[in-house]
Amino acid sequence: MAVVLAVPTCLLLALTGLGVADRAEDWSAARETEAQVGVLLRVQDLVRELQRERGLTNGLLGGAKEYRDDVQKQRLRTDDAQEELGAALSDGSDDLAGAAASALGEARRPLGDLTVTRTHVDTGTADRADTLRFYTKAVTTLIDAESAGMPDGDRPITEGVQALQALARATEAVALERGSLNGVFAAGRFRSGEYLDFTEIRATRVAALGQFRQLATPAQQSALDAAFETAAARRATGYERQAERGADGSQVRVAPARWWADMTTLVDDLHGVQRTVGDGVRTHAEETGSAATWQLGGFLGLGALILAVAAALAVLSARSITRPLGALADEADAVAGSRLPGAVRRIQEADPDTPVAADPEKPQVPGSAREIGRLAAALRNVERTAVGLAAEQAVLRRNSTESLASLGRRNQALLGRQLGLITRLESQELDPDSLAELFELDHLATRMRRNAESLLVLAGEEAPARSWPGTVTVAEVVQSAVAEVEQYQRVAVAGVEYCRIRGHAVAELSHLLAELVENALMFSPPTQSVEIHGWRDAGEYCLAVVDRGIGMTAERLAQSNALLSGGGTSLLAAPTRFLGHHVVGTLAARLGAHVELRPTEGSGVTAYIALPATLVQQPDPPASSTASAPSTSSASSSSSTTFAG
């Protein structure tokens, strides 16, 4: 049912998503336009102040010294406008497009040389034409940057932004003409090339105004016409005609102050038209954003309604199927989580001679669907089959364990008798060569006895009791362990502090040490020795078996430490190469000791054994026991007589 309903639902949601994406794009574009127009108006304010400073500076350089105070005041206004633009860029950086923010940042770069230019003007080293070009370049760069990164909105917004750009260029042409002729009127005539610049400026103004009239609304065109029909604008036109008569380099008699005042009025009026156009674009962007917000909410609501209806239909249509399937899933979870593990555990713990009790009859799964009934029956058949297999595996494992334990006990009994016979022969033999061979045979039998005990440990059986009354020194336990390995000559007892071990733990501790020592010998070069250290640590006693062999990887080290900590509870958890570690882990668990493998500094592995305080007895050592432990050269012979029984 979900699949059937998913196809039309996905199609409807896809269509809704297209509408949401379209409205979201319009909303984003409107928001960016609104933010950018706000910054653009700040740019226009800075352009206006730069245009004024350019005109006054050009007049000052042309010889009108009366502009000195006006220039100083105008510079302050320019700096204020520049700071306001920087603040607007910082506040609206999240809403501005990356291209717009980058373009405006680049456009403000030329203003970094504004201080240098002003210094040249104040010191009298500035060239009028170069200074005019500097200001013109800064203004033109700002105007060109206004349109960078402008988002694509609807047609009125796009045309409004384009009209605003055209009007900005026209206003710049008027302002540039004001500044250029201000210098000409102050000097009294055109210099070389200045008249050509004047004509180009007027041509740029005419072209920009023509473009604006094509894009502007009737109201905006009327505002522009009103700006050019003022008395100040008409007087400025008369001044322009007088300037045209000075094309041949003749004297031009126009008061710079009157020209500046009338042209400033015209430029201010044009800036007012610019602000009107910008406010109109921003207002339209706000309306577009509000409309897009409402439409976006409608599309989202429609999508939510589609999902709700589809979900309700899916629930109502599939309710008759999900109920019996849910009951069947609960049944399967109960089988896997509790019933089957419980049955296997009962089988493994039950007396082998007692028959396994039959499970009670399970209730029927609710629902009348024939397929669901068949599935429930199949699940119960799987459960019965699994229980039967578990019973067979339990019997097989029990028989295997009992066989291994029986074989281990028989071997150990025979080896005990063999060791007793060898001991008697050693006591009766006087020939040194024959006695050495008997010692070697004694050593081999001792190793075989340890293997038989390992077999019993792996089978989970307790070895026949080999305990001593009272306590035994750690040095003697170490000697007994060394005597049970093949290459005992390579073992060096580097330093074992005096301590005594309780007699009931001696045999198992000696076995544990022998397994670790033999493992260290096996994975060490034949020329390297294996060291054994022992020391007291508060109430505990610690032993270390150090080898400098090939070492172990971190993964193998983790696996071995898991077995040594008792993580493997059966032979299934101990692969063949880890049987010795499994034996050590089992013996350590019986003793309550902690065994851990760590890398040896340089190379190799060190096995650390921490014996609990319950196994350790620490009386004051006698005078004869303060020396180091006996050397390993006599380990085999002494252990054969002391711990062979």
Q: Is the pLDDT of residue 620 over 90?
A: no
What are the residue ranges of helices labelled H in 155-255? 155-187, 194-215, 218-228, 231-244
Q: Is the pLDDT of residue 200 over 70?
A: yes
Question: 427-440 pLDDT, tens per residue?
Answer: 777 777 777 777 66
Question: 253-272 pLDDT, tens per residue?
Answer: 888 888 888 888 988 898 88
- Does 484 share its domain with 564? yes
Q: Is the pLDDT of residue 576 over 80?
A: no
C-alpha distances out from residue 139 to 111, 261, 614, Å: 9, 21, 93
> What 3-state DSSP class applies to 453?
helix
- Does 566 share its domain with 456? no
**8 domain residue, yes or no:** yes
Q: Is the pLDDT of residue 639 over 50?
A: no
- Structural contact between residues 285 and 30, judged by C-beta atoms closer than 8 angstroms: yes
- Name the domain boundary from 464, 497, 519: 464
More confident residue, 130 or 88: 130
pLDDT for res 177: 85
User: Cα separation of 38 and 217, whole Å?
Assistant: 20
Mean pLDDT of 352-361: 58
pLDDT for res 362: 61
User: Cα separation of 2 and 16, whole Å?
Assistant: 20
Which residues span the domain enclosing 423?
A: 399-464
Mean pLDDT of 340-348: 72
- Does 411 share its domain with 431? yes
Helix (H) or strand (E) segment spanning residue 472: strand 471-473
User: Cα separation of 168 and 576, whole Å?
Assistant: 89
Output the average pLDDT for the chain.
76
pLDDT for res 534: 93
**363 domain residue, yes or no:** no
**242 domain residue, yes or no:** yes
Q: Is the pLDDT of residue 637 over 50?
A: no
- Structural contact between residues 232 and 265, judged by C-beta atoms closer than 8 angstroms: yes
- Does 245 share its domain with 290? yes
State pTM to two decimals.
0.41
**620 domain residue, yes or no:** yes
Long-range contacts of 465-471 (CB under 8 A, 24+ apart): 466/506, 466/507, 466/643, 466/645, 467/503, 467/504, 467/506, 467/507, 468/503, 468/506, 469/503, 470/503, 471/500, 471/501, 471/502, 471/503, 471/617
- Name the domain boundary from 303, 320, 347: 303
- Name the domain boundary from 447, 464, 481: 464
Q: Is the pLDDT of residue 631 over 70?
A: no
- Mutual orientation of helices 579-591 and 506-522 as an angle, nearest 10°? 150
More confident residue, 276 or 453: 276
pLDDT for res 573: 46
- Does 445 share its domain with 544? no
pLDDT for res 363: 61
More confident residue, 370 or 621: 370
Burial of 507 (0-12, 13-18, 19+ CB in 10 A): buried
CA 287 to centroid of chain Cα atoms: 42
Burial state string for 157-186 with b = 16 or more CB within 10 A and e = fewer than 16: bbbbbbbbbbbbbbbbbbbbbbbbbbbbbb
Burial of 349 (0-12, 13-18, 19+ CB in 10 A): exposed
The total number of structural domains that make up the chain: 3
**436 domain residue, yes or no:** yes
pLDDT for res 117: 87
pLDDT for res 532: 93
- Does 594 share its domain with 581? yes
pLDDT for res 252: 84
When pLDDT is cut at 50, 70 and 90, the band that residue 610 belongs to is: very high
Q: Regarding beta strands 530-537 and 471-473, do their DSSP bridges make them parallel or antiparallel, or are they unpaired?
A: unpaired
Residue identified by tokens 């004509």 is 199
pLDDT for res 307: 80
> What 3-state DSSP class applies to 221?
helix
Closest alpha carbon to 152 in 114, 196, 100, 202: 100
Closest alpha carbon to 136 in 112, 163, 110: 110
- Does 441 share its domain with 567? no
- Does 23 share its domain with 61? yes
When pLDDT is cut at 50, 70 and 90, the band that residue 456 belongs to is: low
**255 domain residue, yes or no:** yes
- Does 151 share its domain with 298? yes
Closest alpha carbon to 570 in 557, 560, 579: 579
Determine what percent of the chain falls in helix, strand and coil, rounding each to the nearest 5.
75, 5, 20
- Does 419 share its domain with 481? no
User: Cα separation of 611 and 602, whole Å?
Assistant: 27
**373 domain residue, yes or no:** no
Q: Is the pLDDT of residue 636 over 50?
A: no
When pLDDT is cut at 50, 70 and 90, the band that residue 606 belongs to is: very high
Q: Is the pLDDT of residue 122 over 60?
A: yes
3-state secondary structure 283-314: HHHHHHHHHHHHHHHHHHHHHHHHHHHHHHHH
Mean pLDDT of 173-189: 84
Mean pLDDT of 17-37: 69
Question: 290-342 pLDDT, tens per residue?
Answer: 777 787 777 788 878 888 887 887 777 777 677 777 777 777 777 777 777 77
Q: Is the pLDDT of residue 77 over 80?
A: yes
Question: 90-116 pLDDT, tens per residue?
Answer: 765 555 555 566 766 677 777 778 888
CATH of the domain at 474: 3.30.565.10
Q: Regarding beta strands 616-617 and 500-502, do their DSSP bridges make them parallel or antiparallel, or are they unpaired?
A: antiparallel
Mean pLDDT of 54-80: 84
When pLDDT is cut at 50, 70 and 90, the band that residue 143 belongs to is: confident
**338 domain residue, yes or no:** no
Burial state string for 116-142 with b = 16 or more CB within 10 A and e = fewer than 16: ebbebbeeeebebbebbebbbebbbbb
More confident residue, 293 or 239: 239
- Does 299 share its domain with 415? no
- Does 474 share its domain with 446? no
> What 3-state DSSP class applies to 643?
coil
pLDDT for res 572: 47
Q: Regarding beta strands 594-599 and 605-611, do their DSSP bridges make them parallel or antiparallel, or are they unpaired?
A: antiparallel
User: Cα separation of 496 and 482, whole Å?
Assistant: 14
Mean pLDDT of 200-214: 88
